[in-house]
Chain A
């Protein structure tokens, strides 16, 4: 109880004057610009940081919890479900997910249930079950219950592709105030800006949070091809067609028998 009271006081103090915050998070990622080359086979980015206490930190507060959310560029996605009709399997129902992260990684030092109450976890979007994934439901936009068939299928498929992950042991404390976490990035990570949000919990409540970011850039011939296909469809199509004709023509010369 006293911890809670102290915490409330600390939060009030923090609101009153930002400089008087009890704790400060200092974080950095090992690389702010990840270059994905054609032979990239997935690597790990390291997030490290420390919890800085100052004079106003309650002396009794020694154990902290951390929750890290890494979210990639957002996009609209659609999930479809097959059903049996006339003896064959056909896509029937579909749901649209609006502006959901294409990459989402949630890390913590211990299970989210232990870090905060279910209520706090929901409000802070801790865990894949609590993350906001907006769906278009008729004319409305809303997230649905975590066990919704489409939502769970969406999360499951994204997890299977290595794009969504939840790991409550990925974040480790090296000392009581120094921590690190590995952020795995599979080869097919979407390009764009990734936001990293680090939240510090103590006694089941949020103490402070901070942000960081990194960027994923793809280079090399493959990326050049992908970009031109998307941005200059006509030229890309003409070049591909010309390439086909060249190959056919070369073949007719190389293999000419007469």
Chain B
């Protein structure tokens, strides 16, 4: 197995997650030709089943290559093909749950998951998810959900993308000069109280930052339709000094549980989870991930990181442009109450 996150396990370089943007955006449109329409019951639009499968496979490929869930690519892609942001976010949650589950199984078999750390993260994660879904519902009733989703993507993806690019360039320069990155062993996090021992990770750490990170990831995951691995993994490594042997497996457990929880919560509160859409994405995704994982092993870690940074930045900029240009249609309508 070990499909989804294979490459990372090998070379320990974490922050990767990108794909060559143009190539994978072009793919779906080329596949538009066969007329195999399927009606998405919740999204309420007919789509080409092969287009969705291809999108699932493309994102799966990228996620396999970089060892990420791929939510931050899947959700925007769905929005760009005309699925409403609300349905896209809610449906992608279950897609991420599927891919992170197959990943988590593999890491579990290798004993690369720290159960204690995962449990503490999850206490925060489930609260964060619940909070996120409630905020999502509230924003939707205000009519500001789409805006907030877009804004969150702009802010998160441009900063993370830019930081990765910067880091990526620095890493490449470092390797050229032959300097090894120096690592401080302690930071302010280690001064916090309520410390406990995380055996498998061999760290002794306050639970406060761990729970806080869980809440944050759960919250943004529920609102943005992302697993949050691409933020979580760097944070766990650089802030909490979680060793690379357990970091991905453990973060995957958090992603898995928060996304399963988000799926159920979104289904209960907003009735927006499109199971048909999610299933097609999953099937495409898990298959694509296998090929992505193989491709990822052939590329160097630094280059992978640069590519991922570029991709993340590109998606963020795409959202920013969308917000700034004048929309063709200024009005939108939505049904708020059922018929009597």
A residues apposed to B, CB below 8 Å: 38, 73-84, 87-91, 94, 96, 99, 102, 150, 153-154, 156-158, 187-188, 190, 192, 222-223, 225-226, 229-230, 233-234, 236-241, 243-245, 247-253, 255-258
Contacts and interface: CB of A to CB of B under 8 A. Distances in A.
Interface pairs A-B: 3 shortest CB-CB: A237-B267, A248-B101, A76-B337
B3 interface: yes
Contacts of B340: 74, 99
Interface in B210-227: none
B282 interface: yes
A158 B331 CA distance: 11
A255 B290 contact: yes
B283 interface: yes
Interface in B288-340: 289-290, 323-327, 329-340
Interface stretch (B12-20, B77-85, B269-277): B269-277
B102 to A, nearest CB: 4
Contact of B267 (A38, A99, A233, A256): A233
B264 A252 contact: no
A80 B102 contact: no
Scoring B3, B103, B259, B339 by chain A CB atoms within 10 A of each residue's CB, the highest score goes to B339
Contact of B95 (A88, A89, A244): A244
B102 A252 contact: yes
Interface of B: 1-3, 38-42, 44-46, 94-95, 97-103, 105-106, 143-144, 146-147, 151, 259-260, 263-269, 271, 273, 275-276, 278-279, 282-283, 286-287, 289-290, 323-327, 329-340
Nearest to A229: B271
Nearest to A84: B326
Contacts of A225: 41-42, 275-276
Contact of A90 (B147, B271, B275): B147
Contacts of A84: 326
Given A229-B42, A236-B275, A243-B279, A77 B330 contact: no
Contacts of A236: 267, 271, 273, 275
B263 A222 contact: no
B102 A248 contact: yes
A196 B249 CA distance: 61
Contacts of A74: 339-340
A122 B323 CA distance: 41
A36 to B, nearest CB: 10
Nearest to B266: A237
A22 B128 CA distance: 71
Contacts of B39: 38, 187, 222
A233 B98 contact: no
A249 B42 contact: no
Contact of A75 (B45, B102, B275, B339): B339
